[in-house]
Amino acid sequence: MAATHIQDFFGEAIDRLSPQLRRAARFLSRQPDLVAVFSLRDLAKSAGVAPASFVRLAHALGFPGYPDLRREIIRRILPDALTYAAKAEKLQKVGDASGLYEQVFAAQIANLNATQRANAADVLRASAETLERARRVWILGLRSLYPLAFYLHYVWGFFRRDLFLAASPSGTLDNALFAIDRGDAMVVMTMAPYTRDVVAAAEMAARAGAKVIAITDSDLSPLAPHADHMLVAATDTPSFFHSLIAANALVEALVALLANRGGAKALSAIRRTQDRLQAMHTYLEPPVRKPAVRKTV
């Protein structure tokens, strides 16, 4: 990840710090990605220091406060999201790749835990309430985020009809998106390196008076200025491309909450969709197999 850049950032200053601040600085230098998704309290808990230690660390490094230090760290790590080839080259230089399988799964578990801590249930609930009140909803994700946008549109479509997938698999924005207006909402997704068209669409929706729910990887994402609600997912992985496992979990949680709050109307719509899928023989029926006959001795 961006650890080497962050270690250069702290540089010789670490040696001039008190033991407590040195511990906080070393934690940030080793796990800078957590700054984007952890609250100050959770960050301090993980580092084993008091939250005030990060505030004092910021002052010791010449920043007015912790938010300024946080912005600088994220600014330095975000460009690394572009270096796919460099990450792939590093990946290929791993001498013994036998532990890579375990590392990938460990990273996903850590991403899920970090994302759950970074997104309070109230934030998810507020997002669901905003979407419920919206007259119409557009869903937008491009490139690697298109499958996630499609999933949200497909599953939510079991019990809500006025949903619009705002782009095609080719990445072309649907002209219907330009009809978005006050009273509507948009769920918009992008991770570093951020897709220009997605950010532009979020800005357009916000200017039109629509509510914007952003699913992204940092509070400093370019979606932030246009979002009414922000859901932040950790994307760390030992592979060369960012992980979307935690973002997927956020989308699943959002759909589950919407279904939970939908009451009898949602239940009726889901049952009707299911009945019609069955009537069209959409799914393959499992074969009926005779139980195996056990031989007795």
DSSP code of residue 277? H
For residues 250 and 180, membership in a common domain is answered with yes
For residues 136 and 255, membership in a common domain is answered with yes
109, part of any domain:
no
Phi-psi region of 38 (alpha: psi -120 to 50; beta: other; left: phi over 0): beta
What span, in angstroms and rounded, lies between the C-alpha atoms of 179 and 188?
A: 16
For residues 49 and 156, membership in a common domain is answered with no
What span, in angstroms and rounded, lies between the C-alpha atoms of 213 and 186?
A: 6
For residues 69 and 198, membership in a common domain is answered with no
Instruction: Give me the phi and psi of 93, to 5 degrees please.
Output: -90, 0
For residues 173 and 61, membership in a common domain is answered with no
87, part of any domain:
no
Stretch 183-198: mean pLDDT, rounded?
92
Element containing residue 52 per DSSP (H, E): helix 51-60
Residue 161 and residue 137 in contact, taking contact as beta carbons nearer than 8 Å? no
Tell me which residue of 51, 67, 75, 60 sits closest to 22, measured CA to CA: 60
- Tell me the CATH number at 62: 1.10.10.10
110, part of any domain:
no
pLDDT in tens, 211-244: 999 999 887 788 888 999 999 999 888 888 889 9
For residues 192 and 241, membership in a common domain is answered with yes
pLDDT(2) > 60: no
266, part of any domain:
yes
Instruction: Give me the phi and psi of 152, to 5 degrees please.
Output: -60, -45
Interior angle at CA 263, CA 260 and CA 265, nearest 5: 125
Give the domain range for residue 274: 117-279
Q: What is the pLDDT of residue 240?
A: 84
For residues 134 and 26, membership in a common domain is answered with no
pLDDT(175) > 90: no
For residues 66 and 122, membership in a common domain is answered with no
For residues 125 and 191, membership in a common domain is answered with yes
173, part of any domain:
yes
261, part of any domain:
yes
Q: How many domains does the chain have?
A: 2
pLDDT in tens, 95-154: 677 778 888 898 899 999 989 988 989 999 999 999 999 999 999 999 999 999 999 999
| pLDDT band, very low/low/confident/very high, at 27 (cuts 50, 70, 90) | confident
Count of alpha carbons within 13 Å of 24, Cβ hemisphere only?
Answer: 28
- Tell me the CATH number at 134: 3.40.50.10490
289, part of any domain:
no
Q: What is the pLDDT of residue 247?
A: 95
Between 146 and 4, the more confident residue is 146
Token look-up 């357009």 returns 204
The alpha carbons of the chain give a radius of gyration, in whole angstroms, of 23
For residues 151 and 262, membership in a common domain is answered with yes
For residues 70 and 121, membership in a common domain is answered with no
pTM (whole model) above 0.85: no
108, part of any domain:
no
